[in-house]
Every structure is written in structure tokens, then in C-alpha cells.
């Protein structure tokens, strides 16, 4: 079981500790705020001989992911970390990593995209590559960041999946916030993830393969379909790994987590660290007799549409909270997915979208209580006045 003694770790430290315990074969990285500390700490583990990792310093994030793909196709267990513009500079290679079925693990710290330049939290970076073929797991706090990094190895490397995985935390809010977490013993982590079994290796001269070959109309479609099937397979694997993690270490994980949702009439759906603030709002409103709840989504890719619809179908009204804007004029990325998931329900809840917290703007308990009050009005028969609103912006 996990150690009962709690240790103080920031989100970055928690992710770096998980990487140390995983002890990957290769880490290729380039620094960027607020994710720099993850690979900086890991480089000290390499220098101190605490891991056997080959640490590759490169000139850009594009090169970092390129090196990761090269190492992965050579048969290595590979990890890295980045944020914001660094993730966007990697974007070309992110698609290649997924297409080549490289189970690379990426510690991604959510940060706003330029322009204007901003180093604080929103989900613009992660959402911009949501269709790249990477599994995406969101963490509410340092404990989840640590646990998710460990589970990501098992998920990505499963032979029915073989896809890269990004584990996210919210920049500064979690990455630099100090929390008490329960860590596993090094051996427990190694026993849980097991030895790496590469599906193939470019270095195996007895079984030569082609990686990154040219596909025209003859095979491209089939290869893309295989990647889509792998993402579908990942749903089952994510649940299996989450259950096993819970049985061994006492912390259970699924696609999402409900809070006072079963008897609720109205609810928020959101990602990341805002869940903690929302729970306080729920508790305060419950004391006032408001039947409200919360659904915190953990896994954004693969998107658990059927499971989400089942969990939300009894509600009268839902607010989807997006910490990024698709700039489509049709709502944020999470809103589009949730709304689509609910479409086939015979009786759909009323649904509204709030874009909030861009560039790190604070979201308060009072802000969320205001959202719940609006949902109360809608659930009581009031009309939806604006489907998409910008919460906390000066207009």
C-alpha cells in the first residue's frame, strides 16, 4: 500500500518524482515556464545517479519530441515535459508520435498561448492538440498528477493501445503550489508498471522494419483507422489500470469523478484544478438547500461520451466550464464534446457554456455560485438567455 506518511510536493515536483520512480530509458527535453522545473529536477536525478536515464538536451521543443520519437522507435521507454508554446512547437511531431504508435509520456503543464504573451494557466495549449492522437489525462492536484503519471505508463504501453499519453496540471496553480501527497515506494512503482516491452525496434537488424514510411492512397486510411481503434481500445485499458491502481494503493480512478451528483438537479462539468473551488461552492449551496453537483472530467481523450451522458442524463440543467476558447463562436472545446455526448438522450438537460479563467484569471467560489444560481433559474423553467458566456471578463 501507499506510504501513510505524507510529503510536501508541488505539482512539478510530484511529476518529477514519478518520472524518477519510473526510471525511463530516455528523456529529451527543452525548458519552458512553468514546466521547466519538472525536467530540471529530473536532470539532477540523472546527475546524481538516481536513474539510469539517457538525458538528451536539445535546442527546441520540436527537437525534444523528435528525439523522443527516435528513441521510442528504437525500443526505449521515453518521457518528456513541456508547456504552452513548447507544446505547439512540438505539434508537428505529436501527430507523428501517435501515428507511429510511440507510447511516449509527456508531463504537460497547462498554460495560455500567445498572443498576447502570458505565462499563466488556461487549457489553450492542451486543447489545441486534442485531435493529435494523444491520450489526454487532466489532474486536479499534485496527488493526481503523481498518480496519473504512473498510470499513464501502463495505459500507453498496453499492446492494445500503444499510444502516447499527456498528463496535465494547471500552470502555477498546481505546478508551483505546495501540497501534501502520498507517494509510493520505488519498488511499488516498478512492480506496477513492469518492464518495458517494445512492440518493435529500429535497432533490431534481425527483424528490420520501416517507421515513418510514405503512405499515399494505398494505406494511409488504414493506418489512421488503426490509430482510431487504438484510442477506442484505450477506454477499456484506462478503466482497468485505474481499478488496479485503486486496489493496490487505495486511490481509484476512472474517466471522471462526480461530487454530490447522484441526487443533483443542476451541475457543472469541468477539468482540472477548478474542481476544488467548485466543491466548496457545492457544499455552501447544498447547505442552502440547492440540489447541485459537480462532474470533474479526468480523461478528455479518449472522450467518454456514452459514460458521460449516462452520468448527466438525470439533470435539469448543466453548465460546461471551459478554460479555453475554440474561437469558433459555438463555444469552448469541452462544451462541444459534452453537448454532442448528450444529443442522443431522449430528454436532454438544458446546457450552457462558460468560458473562464483565460490567461490565469482567478475563478472564485462566488463566481461559481453565480453560475449555479443561473442554472437554478433555468431548471425552474427559465429561458436560456445566452448559451455561451464569458465569466469574469471586463466587457
| Residue 162, domain member (yes or no) | yes
233 and 101 in a common domain: yes
216 and 309 in a common domain: no
Q: Indicate the number of domains in the chain.
A: 2
Structural contact between residues 122 and 323, judged by C-beta atoms closer than 8 angstroms: yes
> Alpha carbon 19 to chain centroid distance?
16
Question: What percent of the chain clears pLDDT 70, i.e. is strictly above it?
Answer: 99
Residue 4 pLDDT class (50, 70, 90 cuts)? low
The mean pLDDT value of the chain amounts to 97
237 and 267 in a common domain: no
Strands 54-57 and 26-29: parallel
304 and 164 in a common domain: no
pLDDT at residue 395, rounded to an integer:
87
145 and 122 in a common domain: yes
89 and 39 in a common domain: yes
Model confidence at 1: pLDDT above 70: no
| Residue 1, domain member (yes or no) | no
User: Distance (Å, rounded) from C-alpha 63 to C-alpha 69?
Assistant: 10
DSSP code, position 255: S
The CATH number of whichever domain residue 342 belongs to comes to 3.40.50.920
168 and 95 in a common domain: yes
209 and 76 in a common domain: yes
DSSP code, position 55: E
Residue 376 pLDDT class (50, 70, 90 cuts)? very high
User: Distance (Å, rounded) from C-alpha 204 to C-alpha 352?
Assistant: 54
Please name which of 14, 56, 11, 17 lies closest in space to residue 34, comparing C-alpha atoms.
Answer: 11
105 and 53 in a common domain: yes
pLDDT in tens, 107-139: 999 999 999 999 999 999 999 999 999 999 999
Q: Domain residues for 339?
A: 256-391
pLDDT in tens, 202-239: 999 999 999 988 999 999 999 999 999 999 999 999 99
CA distances from 361 to 100, 212, 264, 354, 355 (A): 38, 42, 28, 14, 11
Model confidence at 353: pLDDT above 90: yes
| Residue 140, domain member (yes or no) | yes
| Length of the chain, in residues | 395
| Residue 105, domain member (yes or no) | yes
Q: Is 107 helix (H, G, I), strand (E, B) or coil?
A: strand
Among 249, 276, 304, identify where a domain stops: 249
- Which has the minimum average pLDDT: 1-10, 23-32, 264-273, 291-300? 1-10
Among 249, 267, 282, identify where a domain stops: 249
| Residue 183, domain member (yes or no) | yes
Among 249, 270, 296, identify where a domain stops: 249
User: Distance (Å, rounded) from C-alpha 145 to C-alpha 126?
Assistant: 15
319 and 220 in a common domain: no
222 and 106 in a common domain: yes
pLDDT in tens, 77-94: 999 999 999 999 999 999
The CATH number of whichever domain residue 174 belongs to comes to 3.40.50.970
281 and 239 in a common domain: no
Question: What percent of the chain clears pLDDT 90, i.e. is strictly above it?
Answer: 98
Cell numbers given for 236? 477499456
Amino acid at each position: 500500500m501507499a506510504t501513510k506518511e505524507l510529503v510536501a510536493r508541488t505539482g512539478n515536483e510530484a511529476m518529477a518524482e514519478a518520472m524518477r520512480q519510473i526510471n525511463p530509458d530516455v528523456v529529451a527535453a527543452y525548458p519552458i515556464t512553468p514546466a521547466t522545473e519538472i525536467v530540471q529536477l529530473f536532470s539532477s536525478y540523472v546527475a546524481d545517479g538516481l536513474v539510469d536515464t539517457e538525458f538528451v538536451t536539445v535546442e527546441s521543443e520540436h527537437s525534444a519530441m523528435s528525439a523522443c520519437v527516435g528513441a521510442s522507435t528504437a525500443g526505449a521507454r521515453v518521457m518528456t515535459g513541456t508547456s504552452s508554446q513548447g507544446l505547439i512547437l512540438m505539434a508537428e511531431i505529436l501527430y507523428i508520435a501517435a501515428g507511429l504508435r510511440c507510447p511516449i509520456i509527456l508531463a504537460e503543464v497547462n498554460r495560455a498561448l500567445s498572443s498576447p504573451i502570458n505565462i499563466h494557466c488556461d487549457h489553450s495549449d492542451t486543447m489545441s492538440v486534442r485531435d493529435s492522437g494523444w491520450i489526454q489525462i487532466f489532474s486536479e492536484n499534485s496527488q493526481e498528477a503523481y498518480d496519473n503519471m504512473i498510470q499513464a505508463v501502463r495505459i500507453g504501453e498496453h499492446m492494445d493501445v500503444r499510444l502516447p499519453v499527456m498528463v496535465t496540471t494547471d500552470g502555477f496553480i498546481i505546478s508551483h503550489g505546495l501540497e501534501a501527497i502520498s507517494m509510493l515506494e520505488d519498488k511499488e512503482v516498478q512492480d506496477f508498471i513492469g518492464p518495458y516491452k517494445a512492440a518493435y525496434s529500429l535497432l533490431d537488424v534481425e527483424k528490420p522494419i520501416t517507421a515513418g514510411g510514405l503512405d499515399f492512397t494505398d494505406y494511409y486510411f488504414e493506418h489512421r483507422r488503426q490509430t482510431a481503434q487504438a484510442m477506442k481500445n484505450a477506454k477499456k485499458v484506462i478503466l482497468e489500470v485505474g481499478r488496479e491502481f485503486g486496489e493496490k494503493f487505495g486511490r481509484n480512478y476512472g474517466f471522471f469523478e462526480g461530487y454530490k451528483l447522484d441526487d443533483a438537479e443542476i451541475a457543472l462539468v469541468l477539468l482540472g484544478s477548478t474542481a476544488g473551488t467548485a466543491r466548496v461552492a457545492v457544499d455552501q449551496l447544498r447547505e442552502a438547500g440547492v440540489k447541485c453537483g459537480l462532474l470533474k472530467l479526468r480523461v478528455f481523450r479518449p472522450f467518454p461520451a456514452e459514460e458521460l451522458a449516462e452520468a448527466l442524463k438525470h439533470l435539469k440543467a448543466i453548465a460546461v466550464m471551459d478554460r479555453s476558447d475554440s474561437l469558433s463562436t459555438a463555444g469552448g472545446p469541452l462544451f462541444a464534446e459534452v453537448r454532442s455526448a448528450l444529443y442522443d438522450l431522449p430528454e436532454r438537460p438544458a446546457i450552457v457554456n462558460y468560458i473562464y479563467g483565460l490567461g490565469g484569471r482567478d475563478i472564485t467560489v462566488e463566481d461559481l455560485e453565480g453560475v449555479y444560481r443561473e442554472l437554478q433559474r433555468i431548471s425552474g423553467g427559465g429561458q436560456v438567455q445566452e448559451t455561451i458566456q464569458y465569466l469574469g471578463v471586463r466587457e
